[in-house]
Amino acid sequence: MKKTIILSLLCANLFGFAENLTTFSAHFVQTVVDDKKTTIKYNGDIKAKRPNMAMWNYTNPVKKEIYINSSDLVIIEPEIEQVILKKVGNTIAFFEMLKNAKKVNNELYKATYEKLKIDIHVKANKIDSITYLDELENRVTIQFTNQVENQKMDDKVFTAKIPADFDIVHQ
């Protein structure tokens, strides 16, 4: 669970270094490789909006929705009929977190979040992927496709619709 939360916060904050970026949406493939070279792939879509909203919609191999704002994290897991609610505090400034990412060259930026060292890969002036080692030393790569920037997004997209019959876990 901690890995999911860190990943969610990290990725929600990915877009802060691009000063003129107000919204971002894309399809993603997230690949996690452990030290034994076991690979797990997740697919889905992301939407993010300044100053501090993001929604990850995982579609494969399991359905999961993650909603993030400046103080709350909501994870909806339909397969187990569970919702996790977590306060993330006021220290998360989603689009601002990677504002200080250092440009290595036209295709690579480097940033740090807590103890994570993050590589941000850029192609044709769009965020192509991010790569980092998580707290368990797994190599995580998130590859983006069909990126759309600065398109109008309704704030309602970032509001979780919690089914009344799901168990709610407060963390």
Q: pLDDT digit string (tens) for 114-164?
A: 677 889 899 988 889 989 998 889 999 999 999 999 999 999 999 999 999
pLDDT of 79 reads 96
Structure tokens at 9: 């916060």
pLDDT tens for residues 87-122?
A: 876 444 435 445 667 889 989 988 877 677 889 899
- CATH code (residue 93): 2.50.20.10
Residue 65's domain comprises 2-170
**pTM of the entire predicted model:** 0.82
Give the span between the Cα atoms of 128 and 24, in whole angstroms.
Answer: 12
Give the span between the Cα atoms of 121 and 133, in whole angstroms.
Answer: 15
**Closest-CA residue to 75 (of 7, 143, 23):** 7
Q: Determine contact, residues 114/126, Cβ cutoff 8 Å.
A: no
Please count the structural domains in the chain. Answer: 1
**Closest-CA residue to 93 (of 16, 20, 11):** 16
pLDDT of 134 reads 86
